[in-house]
Structure 1
Amino acid sequence: MSALDVFEELRFIIELLVAEQLFTFHFAKRKKDHGRINLAGSLLLILTAVSFVPIQKLAVSTDIKMLIYTLHVSWYIFLLFLSLVLVRLTYEITISDLMFLGISSYSAQHIEYVVVNEILAMGVWPGLPDHLILYALVCIVTCAAWYWLLAKIFASRLKDLEGIIYEDKPSTIFYFALMLIMLIVSAFMGQNLFRGEDYPAGVNYRGALTDVFNCILVLVVQYSVYRISALNKEKEVVRQLLYERQKQYALSKENIDIINQKCHDLKHQLQGLKDTKEEERRKYIEEVEESIMFYDSVVKTSNEVVNTILSEKSLYCEKHKIRLTCIVDAKPLDFMNTLDIYALLGNALDNAIECVSKYEDTDKRVVSLNISAKGGFLCIQTNNYMEGELKFQDGLPVSTKVRKRENHGFGMKSMRHLTDKYGGTMCADIENGIFMLQIVIPMPKEFLRLLNEAGA
């Protein structure tokens, strides 16, 4: 086997692996040991690709064109399948999205191959492959430039998708798998048309141009899907923000009503003190103290955002006979954005408060919040009573709300989005009638160092 044959096989698998990383890196969350598994898998795939050279030579020696064509198509489908398995092992991604991104990756790789290998090295400059080092350099430069352009175009859209476009349904998986196979088959048909019957004496550029056009069309369609999906997610976030503002307005209005009522009661109590006996006056004073002491009992922390949230939720809970207990160390939250803290804690407490509000038993109308730092991680946990079984969808508890279904699940989705933003994890479970929501977020090393110095 010649050095050129080995180079061509290496070139295909390496360009394909890089293209898959290009599309997946900005899209999906990396699994544990991502780098080590990716490196080992890539080396194994490269060795597998090189092993095809002697097999290909053996097939060519039979001079059976149909056998050669079928072997080529089957082999590259097999290599593509193995590369997608590697992506699946190293990233958290649905099979449907894996197929979808595989289509983008193969299209990107094949465009570069056709332009350099066919149009340039077989058509315009037939002697280029004879100079292997120069040929390799041309391949590296063109591939790097082409992939850089694709990264600039696709990266932001892929990042906005937050790791999911399609759910895993048998019909969706079958559709994308079939589309991927048809893309490879059409690519080989374009190559046959390019080379024609009189190859190497002459080449048919229409085959190469058709091939490139088909792959570019696929990338345009893929980009449109990415863009539409990203816009839909942005629309959902805006919708959630509007919903949160409506809730915030209603809560603020209710808090003002509570304070006004307290002031009104206090006014009459003070008026009554003027005309009452000593025993009744003492009773009034005790009632006033009880009313005022509530405001002193609200947890005060070093973080004003946390203080605001706890004050609001405590006022609401006090009016609706719900007991809110807090063990809060707010300092570990300081690395987070103010609005993110408000949305994360606000949604967590709102969900817990709403859940216990439906129970008449005061022992069940209890919500607890715990915020602490453990081993370099910010840990947030809420507990509340919950009857019945908990159903999950996409790893999130399914909302039990019947009314206002347009806001179904937004709170949990918003919290997961914020947790993912900071590289953390969120999990929920129900045990012995207690619903537990746990959020764990790694604190930045620099912030952790400052935190430790401050506590020293």
Structure 2
Amino acid sequence: MKFQQEIYNLRHDMKHLLLLKESNNQELIEDLLTTYSAKIDQLPFSYNTSSKILNYVLKIKKEEALLHNIDFTVTTNIVDTIHIEDIDLYLLLMNLLDNAIENIGGNRQIKITISTTSNSLIIKSINSTSPTLPSMIQDIPSKKKEDGHGLGLKTMRNIAEKYKGSIVIAQKQNEFIVDIELKNP
């Protein structure tokens, strides 16, 4: 339980980095990143990619999915260095996986594929949905009542734009599909 609580505390704290990023207080941001990096180094991961942030997000989201009885499958093929800023990768994946978990339906499955090419990071997410769920292609409405929620797709689109990439969203019968490509800067 202590380990689980520490993971959720880190997740919560990392969300606040988005607000700090807008403040442009580089010294405070660097201090927090150093602290978080040390904490992340102490956590055992079930994923072992070249990216600590990727490992961290996949680990906590897998645990969250398991708590909700969701089958969470990740396939990675990362042969090149991920050239995306850690905060952007964190925000992109957290929003993507938060939306998938929050809007799960049907057979309760989430499948994530993450790969790199010589010039891109490619992420594909497929989660099962209920056929009665309204189309989420526009903006996924957050069910959470806290401030700062409901901006997930907008954040993801902004990150894709920043890296001259694309985000393609589709809903087919019982699946919600998100394809993301981010170009190396």
TM-score range, shorter chain: 0.5 to 0.7
> Which amino acid in the other structure matches residue 339 of structure 1?
I
Aligned to 2:75: 327
Structure 2 gaps, min length 5: 12-42
Matched residue count: 148
Alignment identity in percent? 26
- In the alignment, which of 120, 135, 144 is matched to residue 390 of structure 1? 135
Aligned to 1:368: 111
Q: Distance in 1 between matches of 2:61 and 2:93?
A: 10
How far is the alpha carbon of 1:374 from its aligned partner?
A: 4.4
- In the alignment, which of 152, 157, 161 is matched to residue 411 of structure 1? 152
Q: Distance in 2 between matches of 1:410 and 1:426?
A: 15
Q: Distance in 1 between matches of 2:182 and 2:9?
A: 33
More strand by share: 2
Which portions of structure 1, spanning 4 or more consecutive aligned residues, are displaced by more than 6 angstroms? none
- In the alignment, which of 247, 252, 255 is matched to residue 8 of structure 2? 252
Give the direction of change, closer, same or farther, for the CA distance of 1:253–1:403 in structure 2 (3 Å limit).
closer
RMSD over aligned CA atoms reads: 3.0
Give the direction of change, closer, same or farther, for the CA distance of 1:423–1:341 in structure 2 (3 Å limit).
same
> Which amino acid in the other structure matches residue 163 of structure 2?
Y
Structure 1 gaps, min length 5: 1-248, 256-294, 445-456
Q: Distance in 2 between matches of 1:332 and 1:379?
A: 12
How far is the alpha carbon of 1:390 from its aligned partner?
A: 1.2
How far is the alpha carbon of 1:332 from its aligned partner?
A: 4.2
How far is the alpha carbon of 1:323 from its aligned partner?
A: 1.2
- In the alignment, which of 69, 89, 113 is matched to residue 341 of structure 1? 89
More helix by share: 1
User: Given the two structures, how large is their TM-score scaled by the length of structure 2?
Assistant: 0.67
Higher CA-based Rg: 1
Tell me the secondary structure at the aligned position of residue 401 of structure 1: coil
**CA displacement, residues 333-383 of structure 1 (integer Å, 9 cap, x when unaligned):** 521111111111111111111111xx4x6xx21111111134733211110
Is residue 351 of structure 1 aligned with residue 96 of structure 2? no
Q: Distance in 2 between matches of 1:310 and 1:383?
A: 15
User: Given the two structures, how large is their TM-score scaled by the length of structure 1?
Assistant: 0.29
Q: Distance in 2 between matches of 1:398 and 1:250?
A: 31
Q: Distance in 1 between matches of 2:158 and 2:51?
A: 22
Give the direction of change, closer, same or farther, for the CA distance of 1:411–1:400 in structure 2 (3 Å limit).
closer
Asked if 2 retains the 8 angstrom alpha-carbon contact of 1:298 and 1:314, the reply is no
Give the direction of change, closer, same or farther, for the CA distance of 1:334–1:403 in structure 2 (3 Å limit).
closer
Give the direction of change, closer, same or farther, for the CA distance of 1:306–1:375 in structure 2 (3 Å limit).
closer
* Greater RCO, 1 or 2 (C-alpha within 8 Å, sep 6+): 2
How is 1:225-374 mapped onto 2 (pairs within 5 angstroms)? Answer: 252-253=8-9, 298-332=46-80, 334-356=82-104, 359=105, 364-374=107-117
How far is the alpha carbon of 1:318 from its aligned partner?
A: 2.0
How far is the alpha carbon of 1:250 from its aligned partner?
A: 9.7
